[in-house]
Amino acid sequence: MMANMAASLITHGRIKTTFAKAKALRPFIEKVITKAKKAALKTEKKDAIHLRRLALADVRDETAITLLFNEKVKDFANRVGGYTRIYKLGPRAQGDAAEMALIEFVKADDPGYKAAKKPAKVKKARVAKVAAPAAEAPAAPATEGEAKA
């Protein structure tokens, strides 16, 4: 099943499936893409063929592997990882109401998701507590008579 889904993803660029299958497909296809990237960097043809055959043993679709190794590998040349993205689509309308998802390749020039920086929290309460005791401290009584009164 993973091989067929990987071949469909390589061929079409995105597929709609259940969320559980999409999560299982992600590491499978990313390892195949890594093999294609390593083969593109190899200078010896023998090493590149070896990596192509390893990928073909995983996917078992020669046209999909040829497409990946010859054309699509250029899209991933500058990416370190994260070649796929999963979008949740909601439950299936009919049948088992399984959570559906869309898995697709990330474009080469896509910067990805960057979390917004949160402003630094100022510890005003702590600063106020340290300064307050010094200002509010009562003066010590001068004599014993004043202390009893």
Tell me the CATH number of domain 2-105, given options 3.90.1030.10, 3.30.920.30, 3.40.50.300, 3.20.20.150: 3.90.1030.10
- Could you read off the pLDDT tens digit of each residue along the chain, which spans 149 residues? 999 999 999 999 999 999 999 999 999 999 999 999 999 999 999 999 999 999 999 999 999 999 999 999 999 998 999 999 999 999 999 999 999 999 999 987 887 777 777 777 766 666 556 665 655 655 666 666 555 55
In angstroms, the CA 27 to CA 107 distance is 18
> What pTM value is reported for the model?
0.74
Residues 6+ apart with CB under 8 A from 147: 141
Distance CA 142, CA 2 (A): 87
